[in-house]
Structure 1
């Protein structure tokens, strides 16, 4: 543990608090921010949102997100706006696309620390910040350009505002800020109302005199603020879509308001998992290492429930209700659990000083680190010696991580030898910090060429010429994002066979046109002249073919088989200078 932090734990004075807080904040900035600018957006979601943001900048159309010239109705635009702003400010997709999630994570951390200080004192506040910063899913998502970390910031701000009013109030300004945060959270991702999971316990503790009582007037006022924030986006969107006369905009309106909210929850069509998915398959790793404390935290929570400790049971009850809420939906993704982490830390906060002194917790962390470091060290050594199974995995993913695994595994073993089981929790926390630092530097360098098609799309432009048109049937966003030439696509929901028929008709309209397609799809068309194909090799797990128009001259096309969307390529300003990729 750093000397400043040890001093703080021994003597929680104001001077020590300031030094320790600055140290924690610096650690968070380094740990969460390192790696920005060192990699491109990676599948599955990052290229899509970067493409949305880039097309906003290129077309000036900020109200209705597009992807490859086609409306993108799956998510509201707030995260895309933030991404577009950071890309515009930095002048680079590579520099800008991770900034919104990094700032969101730092914001959530600040809120957790501040609430911990106000409820439990300085010592607990800093321990809460450290606990959140060690949580595996929290750091992972801070380094991933997905919507969920920004959603988590707004849900944490919402919970902060409600808890300030309930436990430290009356604080009606924070009550309204909390509801406003939920409204913005809804137009970031539909489940921004998650802080409402605090209300059942709040009503109970308010009735028992352990929290500020809620009135119907306050509830209605808060609801009005939330709806006003949602309406600031939804009403202009609905008006523009309804009176535009464009069926595509009307379909966007209906999709974003209904299919992507209620229908996605109640009758999900993707990521179908059993009800126990989160408890069994997600939380054990997502909450690591906090999950190791549960054997000691559970009886402590029970004692605090009997004492009617609202400071613990309001956030803890919200965690339980959120897990149940998402478990009831047939569609599940591990990232849906991210908003529970700040609330879990809030519930653990007053227990942390006692937990970090538990020998059993340190030994459990020691065992976990021994397993993680041992597996990585052994796998790295076997891979370096050419074990066939590992060699096949490396070849399939185009990554040779053996030296990295050996180093990070050896560092874990070294920390175990230095700290011994009595300090296993500090060893695991230190190793996680080293892991994330190496992941964001060495790991990025190892993986970027395999997960980003930047080099392949540069080669495509060199072969075709930068002014040649490129068709991408059944495209993945990362290829369109990295395209270096004018490009078209044929609709995200269009059947693949119809996309190829439309592409063949499009190719016949000019010789300076090319088709870029996955080999396993294009090989089904015997009409394509094989001797004119350029095999571009493997990228993101698929083999890709580059096909000139003349090679598909014998293929029967249908100009009505699918829509045609042109991907925007220039900014609407006189310079025409697009952000660098």
Structure 2
């Protein structure tokens, strides 16, 4: 390795010391800010609420969201959150631990796979490339399902690639099949790991270099299917048994929804997140920055490796393309859907980065990227701080950040200045150090600086705290047209009248509930659900959170003789959650 490359990517450390240093840095980046914020929308409060109700009810098998069954996702991720709560006793810590540990796990698997397929240096480069990617760190620091399912898919790929390229290793193969099954009961798409069979069989047929033939009886191959089914049965079997023992029709509806509508139905007839066919091109180019900066140099090298029939490049590269292609067909698309492809893409980049860094043009591109990022942050932060950006002013107003807006824009400016200084100091001699310093400043600042500023308004903690203070400790509270964060952060046992039910139906039930004890009961309600039945003059304003206006009403705020079903426009379309 040239002096330039060595100075750019390493110090005079032993391989073991390099690994320990890398994972110490990764731990600091990923775990920074743990305990400083509550769950933030869109998905985090939903999963945290389900997990909280698991602990409170003792039912970890068929989850609930408020009074309704929650069938959008299998419960494994929420059960992990509940498990970590039983260990820590702190929801602010427990709800993030599955994603944080999954992030570390993906880094570890990527490093070890690179080490085994090439060498220690490639493994370290690959893991570093993954840690530098925006989407990876952002998602690993959020409590969504995608980092956890990405970990299980990466673990499946790890086991399969060890068997397909370094085999025979039947234990690794069975481990990979079992991990794919765990991915299925996490989100359903864990089965995508088994697409690795396609390039493996192609490489085997064409006798590519480095592919393992893995001789053995058919029973060993079939045992992989048994391990896959055993993993899925860990949840599927007891769930089916529990549903069959229940007479209430909502349990049969739960089973049908989670097994069919939320899987094949969501894929073939997506009902949300509609995007054009080329949507993932933007994700691969921009959400995967700065990893994507390597594409102009990595792609020709991959092509030469494919011409040399290197199976180590063929298998992961074809699998990455198949995953992106799989999610391109349905109308519904989100950037996180293709996140499972990111670790293997980082592995492919890591296998070539040593030669890529020797290119002066690449080093110029990295230095320019860091400088441009710094200028963008500095200019935007300064303009927003001075009140000269209409969009920034609107965001501050919508989120109720008048007091913390200056602090937030100060964070943006400081990160921008650090990026500019790092770009000037590193230039083309040490651009990777400049990039690492800039990304560290960004993520540490986001975690320790921005979390406290944004938390109250983003999580709804502040508005629910004010609601509790306004009604007093002895009052009863119910929710209408609510979001998951409202129930999650309520300071007392709270009544709800369904989540996906139309707002007018919720308000009808809430009106009857209020009239049963008008002196003690209050309803926390979204302004948009008033219709003509709620007198705004008699509603008490609570506050603004999650870009919504929230109020408290008592029975005297309901107009006599008003039927919410007729007064609120739309029989079934007045609730966006339906």
TM-score between the two structures when normalised by the length of structure 1: 0.91
> What's the secondary structure of 2:14's corresponding residue?
helix
Distance 1:529 1:317 in 2: 61
Does the 8 A contact of 2:102 with 2:147 survive in 1? yes
2:539 alignment counterpart: 533
CA contact (8 A) 2:66 2:499 kept: no
> Which residue of 2 is the match for residue 573 of structure 1?
none
Q: What is residue 335 of structure 1 aligned with on the other side?
A: 336
Task: Give a deviation string over 1:36-63, Cα, whole Å, max 9, x none.
Answer: 1000000000011111111011010111
For residues 490 and 299 of structure 1, the distance between their equivalents in structure 2, rounded to whole angstroms, comes to: 59
The size of the alignment, in residue pairs, is 553
**Aligned-partner SS, 1:338:** helix
Which deviates the most, 63-72 or 531-540? 531-540
- For 2:479 and 2:226, the matched residues in 1 are separated by 46
Taking the aligned partners of 2:44 and 2:370, their CA distance within structure 1 comes to: 30
Secondary structure, counterpart of 2:352 in structure 1: helix
What value does the CA root-mean-square deviation take over the aligned residues?
A: 2.2
CA contact (8 A) 2:504 2:564 kept: no
The equivalent of 1:158 in structure 2 is: 156
Q: Aligned match of 2:194 in 193, 196, 221?
A: 196
Structure 2 residue 435 is the aligned partner of structure 1 residue 434: no
What residue number does 1:424 align with?
431
> CA offset at residue 8 of structure 1?
11
Q: 501, 523, 542: which one pairs with 1:515? A: 523
Counterpart-to-counterpart distance in 1, 2:70 and 2:471: 29
Q: Quickly say closer, same or farther: Cα 1:388–1:151, change in 2 above 3 A.
A: closer
Aligned to 2:495, the other structure's residue is in SS state: strand
CA change 1:26–1:226 in 2 (3 A) is same
**Hey, what's the Cα distance between the residues in 2 that align with 1:555 and 1:379?**
53
Residues 1:221 and 2:223 are matched in the alignment = yes
Q: Is the counterpart of residue 542 in structure 1 residue 545 in structure 2?
A: no
Tell me the alpha carbon deviations over residues 474-517 of structure 1, each in whole angstroms, 9 at most, x when there is no partner: 21101110001221222222112222222222221111111111
In the other structure, the counterpart of 1:452 is 459
Structure 2 CA distance for aligned equivalents of residues 430 and 22 of structure 1: 18
Counterpart-to-counterpart distance in 2, 1:245 and 1:548: 36
The 3-state SS of whatever aligns with 1:274 is: coil
**Cα distance in 2, alignment partners of residues 323 and 234 from structure 1:** 28
- Cα distance, 1:518 vs structure 2: 1.4
- Residue 576 of structure 2 is matched in structure 1 by none
Match of 1:344 in 2: 345
Distance (whole Å) between structure 1 residues aligned to residue 413 and residue 176 of structure 2: 46
Q: Is the 8 A contact 2:67 2:498 kept in 1?
A: no
Tell me how far apart the structure 1 counterparts of residues 389 and 96 of structure 2 sit (CA, whole Å). 36
Kept in 1, the 8 Å contact 2:9–2:432? The answer is no
Where does residue 395 of structure 1 map in the other structure? Answer: 397
Q: Which residue is equivalent to 1:29?
A: 27
Partner of residue 483 from structure 1, selected from 478, 481, 490: 490
> 1:363 and 1:322 mapped to 2: Cα distance?
32
The residue aligned with 1:232 is: 234
- Cα offset for 1:209? 5.3
1:179-222, CA deviations, whole angstroms, 9 ceiling, x for partnerless residues? 00000110001000121221111012122153123675444221
Deviations 1:7-30 (A, max 9, x none): 896799xx7101100000100110
| 1:140-179 correspondence to structure 2 within 5 Å | 140-179=138-177
Asked if the contact 2:29–2:443 (Cα under 8 Å) also holds between the matched residues in 1, the reply is: yes
What is the distance in 1 between the residues matched to 2:458 and 2:275?
A: 26
What's the offset of the Cα at 1:376?
1.3
Instruction: Give the Cα separation in 2 of the matches to 1:85 and 1:243.
Output: 26
Confirm or deny: 8 A CA contact 1:7 1:16 kept in the other structure. no
Equivalent position of 2:212 in the other structure: 212
Structure 1 CA distance for aligned equivalents of residues 448 and 351 of structure 2: 35
> Matched residues in 2 for 1:388 and 1:323: separation?
36
How far does residue 454 in structure 1 lie from its aligned partner after superposition? Answer: 1.3
What residue is the counterpart of 1:104 in the other structure? Answer: 102
Instruction: Say if 2:473 is the partner of 1:466.
Output: yes
1:554 aligns with 2:556: no
Q: Tell me, yes or no, if the aligned pair for 1:359 and 1:422 is still in contact at 8 Å.
A: no
CA distance in 1, matches of 2:88, 2:191: 32
User: Following the alignment from structure 2 to structure 1, what is the Cα–Cα distance between the partners of residues 220 and 425?
Assistant: 55
The change in CA–CA distance for 1:521 and 1:558 in structure 2 (over 3 A counts) is closer
User: Does residue 369 in structure 1 map to residue 382 in structure 2?
Assistant: no
Q: CA deviation at 1:557?
A: 5.7
Residues 10 and 438 (structure 1), Cα distance of their counterparts in 2 relative to 1, 3 Å cut: closer
Q: Paired residue for 1:246, among 235, 245, 248?
A: 248
In 1, are the aligned partners of 2:208 and 2:310 still within 8 Å (CA)? no
Looking at structure 1, the residues matched to 137 and 84 of structure 2 have their Cα atoms a distance apart, in angstroms, of 20
CA distances 1:321-354 after superposition (whole Å, capped 9, x unpaired)? 0000000111111111211110101222220111
Residues 363 and 422, structure 1, Cα contact 8 Å, conserved in 2: no
How far 1:429 moved relative to its partner? 2.7
2:208–2:309 CA contact under 8 A, matched in 1? no
CA-CA distance at 1:426 after TM superposition: 3.0
TM-score by length of 2: 0.92
Q: Show the counterpart of 1:570.
A: none
- Give the gaps of 5 or more residues in structure 1: 563-581
Q: Following TM superposition, by how much is the alpha carbon of 1:393 offset from its aligned partner in structure 2, in angstroms?
A: 3.0
